[in-house]
Structure 1
Amino acid sequence: MKNHLPRLTIGAATSGTGKTLLTSLLGRLLSKKGYAVQPFKCGPDYIDPSYHSVATGNICRNLDTRLIPENAVLELFERQAAGADISLIEGVMGLYDGAGALDERGSTAHLSKLIKSPVILLMDVSSMARSAAAIALGYRDFDPDVNVAGFILNRVASPRHEQIVRAAVEDCTGLPVLGAIPRNSTFAMPERHLGLVPAWEDDEILRFLDSGTALLEESIDLEAILRIARSAGALQDYQPTVFNTEPAVSGPGIAYAYDRAFHFYYEDNLDLLRHKGARLVPFSPINDEQLPVDISGIYIGGGYPELSAAELSSNKAMLSAVKKASSKGMPIWGECGGLMYLSEGITGFNGETHAMAGIIPGRAIMKKGLRALGYYTGKLRADSWMGTAGDEIIGHVFHWSKMTDIAPSALYQLKLKKDNDPAADLEDGFCIGNTWAGYMHIHFASNHKPVDNFIKACLKWQGDKS
Structure 2
Amino acid sequence: MNERSRPEQLPQHRPRFVVAGTGSGSGKTTVTLGLLRAFARRGLTVQAFKCGPDYIDPAYHAAVTGRTARNLDSWMTSGGYMLEYFLRSSEAADLSVIEGVMGLYDGKEATALTGSTAEIALLTGSPVLLVVDVRSMGRSAAAIVLGFQQLEPGLRIAAVIVNRCGSASHYRTVKASIEAACGIPVIGWLARDEGLDIPERHLGLLPAVERGELEPLFDRAADLLEAGTDLDVLLQIAAAASVLHYPAAGEILPVEGSTEENPSESDPAARKHLQETGGQDAQEPPGVLPAAAHYPAAAAKILQETGGQDAQEPPGVLPAAAAHYPVAAAKKAGNIQCYPPLDNAAPQAFASVNDPAPVIAVAQDAAFNFYYADNLELLARAGARLALFSPLSGEGIPPEADGIYLGGGFPEEFAATIAGNSAFLLGLRAAAAAGMPLYAECGGYMVLARSLTDRAGAVHEMAGIIPAHTVMQDRRTALGYREVTARADCLLLKQGERLRGHEFHYSLMSYSPGEPRLYAYDSSGRSGSQPEGYAQGNVMAAYAHIHLASHIPAAIRLVEACRSYHGSNKDMLCT
Q: Please tell me the TM-score bracket, short chain as reference.
A: over 0.9
Query: Quick one: which amino acid aligns to residue 441 of structure 1?
Result: H
What is the SS of the residue equivalent to 1:92? strand
- Cα distance change on mapping 1:236 and 1:101 into 2, 3 Å: farther
Partner SS for 1:129: coil
Q: Equivalents in 2 of 1:243, 1:53: separation in Å?
A: 28
Provide, for residues 335-384 of structure 1, a one-character-per-residue CA deviation record: whole Å limited to 9, x for no partner. Answer: 11000011111111222221100001111111122212111211111112
CA positional deviation for 1:80: 1.5
Counterpart for residue 413 of structure 1:
520
Which residue of 2 is the match for residue 382 of structure 1?
Answer: 488
**Counterparts of 1:280 and 1:209, CA distance in 2:** 32
Question: How far has the Cα of 1:431 moved from its partner?
Answer: 1.3
Partner of residue 168, structure 1: 177
Normalising by structure 1, report the TM-score.
0.95
Report 1:59-138 matches (<5 A).
59-138=68-147
Question: Cα distance, 1:114 vs. partner?
Answer: 0.5
Q: Which residue of 1 aligns with 2:562?
A: 458
Give the letter for the 1:450 counterpart: A
AA aligned opposite 1:305? P
8 Å CA contact 2:31–2:221 kept in 1: the answer is: no
Partner residue, 1:331: 437
Deviates more, 1:115-124 or 1:247-256: 247-256
Q: Which runs of 5+ in 1 are unaligned?
A: none
Q: Which of 522, 527, 552 is equivalent to 1:448? A: 552
Q: Which of residues 12, 21, 24 is equivalent to 1:3?
A: 12
Q: Structure 1 residue aligned with 2:497, among 368, 391, 400?
A: 391
Aligned CA RMSD, in angstroms, stands at: 1.8
How many Å separate the matches in 1 of 2:497 and 2:51?
27
**C-alpha separation in 1, matches of 2:48 and 2:425:** 36
What is residue 435 of structure 1 aligned with on the other side?
A: 539
Give the match's secondary structure for 1:14. Answer: coil
* Residue of structure 1 equivalent to 2:467: 361
Q: Distance in 2 between matches of 1:414 and 1:283?
A: 28
- 1:199: Cα distance to partner? 5.8
In structure 1, distance between residues paired with 2:78 and 2:232: 34
Report Cα offsets for 1:200-220 as digits up to 9, x if no partner: 344233343223312110010
Deviation at 1:464, TM superposition (A): 4.7
Aligned-pair CA distance for 1:197: 4.5
Q: Is the 8 A contact 1:95 1:108 kept in 2?
A: yes
- In structure 1, what is the Cα distance between the partners aligned to 2:182 and 2:27? 22
For residues 43-93 of structure 1, give each alpha carbon's deviation from its aligned partner in whole angstroms, at most 9, with x where no partner exists.
011110111112112211110000000110010000022221111000000
Structure 1 runs of 4+ off > 6 angstroms?
none
- Structure 1's 198 and 312: CA in aligned 2 closer, same or farther, altered over 3 A? closer
Among 193, 206, 227, which residue is 1:184 paired with?
A: 193
Residues 237, 84 of structure 1: alpha-carbon distance in 2 compared, 3 angstrom cutoff: closer
1:40 and 1:33 mapped to 2: Cα distance? 19
Contact 2:37/2:222 (<8 A) preserved: yes
Q: Which runs of 5+ in 2 are unaligned?
A: 1-9, 253-288, 300-317, 320-350, 571-575
CA distance in 2, matches of 1:204, 1:417: 39
CA distance in 1, matches of 2:497, 2:162: 47
Which amino acid is 2:521 matched to? L
Please name the residue that 2:229 is paired with: 220
CA displacement at 1:316 relative to structure 2? 2.2
| Alignment correspondent of 1:286 | 392
2:4 matched residue in structure 1: none
Indicate which of 230, 238, 241 corresponds to 2:239.
230
- Alpha-carbon deviation of 1:194? 5.5
| 8 Å CA contact 2:499, 2:547 repeated in 1 | no
Is residue 10–residue 90 contact of structure 1 (8 Å, CA) maintained in 2? yes
* Map of 1:300 onto structure 2: 406
Whole-angstrom CA distance in 1 between matches of 2:111 and 2:207:
32
* Greater Cα offset, 60-69 or 448-457: 448-457
Q: Quick one: which amino acid aligns to residue 263 of structure 1?
A: N
Q: Counterpart of 2:220?
A: 211
With 368-377 and 356-365 compared, the bigger mean Cα shift is at 368-377
Post-superposition shift, 1:405?
A: 3.0
Range 348-357 or range 141-150, more displaced: 348-357
Matched residue type, 1:277 = G
Partner Cα distance (2:378, 2:388) in 1: 16
Is the CA contact 1:47–1:198 (under 8 Å) kept in the aligned structure 2?
A: no
1:3–1:233: 8 Å Cα contact kept in structure 2? no
Report how many aligned residue pairs link the two structures. 463
Q: Is the 8 A contact 1:372 1:397 kept in 2?
A: yes
Identical pairs, percent: 42
Match of 2:456 in 1: 350
Distance 1:416 1:209 in 2: 38
* Distance 1:369-1:193 versus aligned 2 partners, 3 A rule: farther
Query: Deviation per CA, 1:128-162, whole angstroms, max 9, x where unpaired?
Result: 22111110100011100111111100011111211
1:66–1:266 Cα change, 3 Å = same
Partner of 2:479: 373
Bigger Cα displacement from structure 2, 195-204 vs 37-46: 195-204
Retained in 2: the 8 A contact 1:395–1:443?
yes
Bigger shift: residues 70-79 or 277-286: 277-286
Quote the Cα distance in structure 2 between the aligned partners of 1:198 and 1:111.
30
CA deviation digits over 1:74-124, x for unaligned, max 9? 100000222211110000000000112123221100000011000010011
Shift of 1:193: 3.5
TM-score of the two chains, using structure 2 as the length reference: 0.78
Amino acid in structure 1 at the alignment position of 2:522 = K
